[in-house]
Amino acid sequence: MSSEQFSEYTVVHGRAKSFYERYDRKPELQHQTHFCPGCGHGIVHKLLARAIDELGIQDRTILVGPVGCSVFTYYYFDVGNVQAAHGRCPAVATAMKRSRPAGIVIGYQGDGDLSAIGSAEILHAANRGENITIIFVNNAIYSMTGGQAAPTTLLGQTSTTTPEGRSATTEGYPLHVSELLATLQGPVYIERVGLGDNKQIAQANRAIHRAVENQVKGLGFSLIEVLSPCPTIWKMSAVDSQHWVRDVMEKTYPLGVFCDRTKEAQPRRLPPEPPSLEAIPAILDIVNDDSAEASSAANKATKPIDLHVRVAGFGGQGVLLLGEVLAEAGLEAGLEVSWLPSYGPEMRSGTSNCHVRLSDETIDSPLVTAPNILVAMNEPSLRKFDKSVRPGGWIIYNGETFPTDCVRNDVHVLALPFTQIAHELGSARAGNMVMLGALLEVANGLPQSSIDAALRRLVRNTKWFELDELALSRGRELFRESFQEV
């Protein structure tokens, strides 16, 4: 054809601007995609690139690619690209859209990716009505991994995992994702299209354009399911697989619009601006390093400390809070600390215990297997841990009398009815703080100011804060009284 002849014609359909001219893949293959001949993904890519061109959004489009045959969207689309873990595209797209509200975020997913491993993510993104666009390519099989059955595999369709054909008895029924999501209130637009013939492709082209446009208008969640041929795994010619989409697949998956709220949808309001990075410590009530330094100067531990504490009792006795106040006070005092709770699934009445370490040195392990202080809030807890206490260590026991068979001559014991004492102070629930008061006398080295600061942070209610302070000092007193007598 002479160049003169071409000059009388003008290009009406050619490579979309949103595609790269050459692809950054294997050197010899940079001018063609990695898709098999006749693959539906290639066509869907093309329709999508076209929509991006037509809407003039190339420079603000972020494409979230899936795991599956279409994993390499970033080779082809000259837009922002992120590749998500298998099935997690809607979650990643949500984050992208929320942090870049002006971006046009398009998720591209296969049927294995979306309807199997990613079924939860798509459901909730749709239900939240995230203002994103999902292109869902349904080829009724896991193609990339060699043809295992997907939730979308047709009844009777053979695959490597359903060699006799999919049976409803053993594999359940083909999952109708579009119909399912259309029952939710969140989505704005859901349509199923096909690539089964020219007419279907033209409709797919319009639907994909529309789904992206909805997002440009800020209307909300749109999903287009595309029934798409996979000649290689289906073991058919490209043309036969195209016909199979129209003649067979479409019977299970009827085409059409399943949800269209574009007329009544209002442009969604942007989510509130997230707080700045600098504001976060204050929101989380974390003192910044400078002031921590300042406070620790005042609260500094007065002597070397190496505490291995185990606190044990029933759930609801304040076991974990006792440990937390101790660890928090250690932090205030500039020590290395760890606090490790360990409890059963019951909120109340189960047993519960925690491991607390406070040290001047780096802590190697947060586990306290040989405590130098055991706080046992009841007899079963005592019996569970008493043997583990180090020689020379302490047992603080919540009970009037210490069980004689637990007596060891190499550990110190303080046994008092702490719950009863707390009850007399105002509430039996402050028993843990009376015990902590006694413990602080044993540990002796944490300044009261660091305890006060820790308690203030963890106990917000003034009434309880005051009672706990009272309980702490009562505990300290009781310890001193007990051991003056000795």
Partner 1 sequence: MTDAVKRDRGLLKIDDQECKGCGLCVEACPPRVIALGEHLNHYGYRTAVYAGTGCTGCGICFMACPEPGAITVMRAVANRAAAAAIMSTGQEGSPSCASN
Ligand X SMILES: Cc1ncc(C[n+]2csc(CCOP(=O)(O)OP(=O)(O)O)c2C)c(N)n1
Which residues would be at the binding site for ligand X (CB under 6 A)? Answer: 67-70, 86, 110-113, 117, 139, 141-145, 150
Choice between 17 and 217, CB closer to partner 1: 17
Q: For the CA atoms of the chain, what is the radius of gyration?
A: 33
| Bridge partners for 251 per DSSP | none
Q: DSSP letter at 394?
A: E
- Give the CA count within 13 Å in the CB-facing half-sphere of 117: 14
Q: Count the Cβ atoms, other than its own, within 10 Å of residue 153.
A: 27
CB of 84 to partner 1, least distance (A): 23
Choice between 200 and 353, CB closer to partner 1: 200
CB of 21 to ligand X, least distance (A): 25
CB of 36 to ligand X, least distance (A): 11
Residue 6 binds: one of partner 1, ligand X, none (C-beta under 5 to 8 A by kind): partner 1
CB 301 within 8 A of CB 336: no
Q: Which residues bind partner 1 (CB under 8 A)?
A: 1, 4-16, 19, 31-33, 35-43, 45-47, 49, 53, 76, 197-199, 201-202, 205, 231, 237-239, 242
Residue 145 binds: one of partner 1, ligand X, none (C-beta under 5 to 8 A by kind): ligand X
CB of 278 to partner 1, least distance (A): 45
Residue 70 binds: one of ligand X, partner 1, none (C-beta under 5 to 8 A by kind): ligand X
Q: DSSP letter at 330?
A: H
- Shortest-Cβ-distance residue relative to ligand X: 110
Choice between 17 and 300, CB closer to partner 1: 17
Choice between 192 and 357, CB closer to ligand X: 192
**In the numeric block, which tokens belong to residue 95?**
């984050």
Residue 67 binds: one of partner 1, ligand X, none (C-beta under 5 to 8 A by kind): ligand X
| Bridge partners for 61 per DSSP | 104
- Burial call 274-299: b when 16+ CB within 10 Å, e when fewer: eeeeeeeeeeeeebeeeeeeebbeeb
Residue 160 binds: one of partner 1, ligand X, none (C-beta under 5 to 8 A by kind): none
Choice between 229 and 371, CB closer to ligand X: 229
Cβ contacts of 402 within 8 Å, gap of 6 or more: 395, 413, 415
Choice between 19 and 234, CB closer to ligand X: 234
Choice between 31 and 303, CB closer to partner 1: 31
CA-to-CA separations, 486 to 165, 281, 480, in angstroms, rounded: 83, 48, 10
Residue 5 binds: one of partner 1, ligand X, none (C-beta under 5 to 8 A by kind): partner 1
Question: Does an H or E element contain 222, and which?
Answer: strand 222-227
DSSP string, 396-449: EEESSS--GGG--TTSEEEEE-HHHHHHHHT-GGGHHHHHHHHHHHHH--S-HH
CB of 264 to partner 1, least distance (A): 27
Residue 102 binds: one of partner 1, ligand X, none (C-beta under 5 to 8 A by kind): none
> Hey, what's the torsion of the CAs at 174, 228, 88, 107, to 10 degrees?
-140
CB of 34 to partner 1, least distance (A): 11
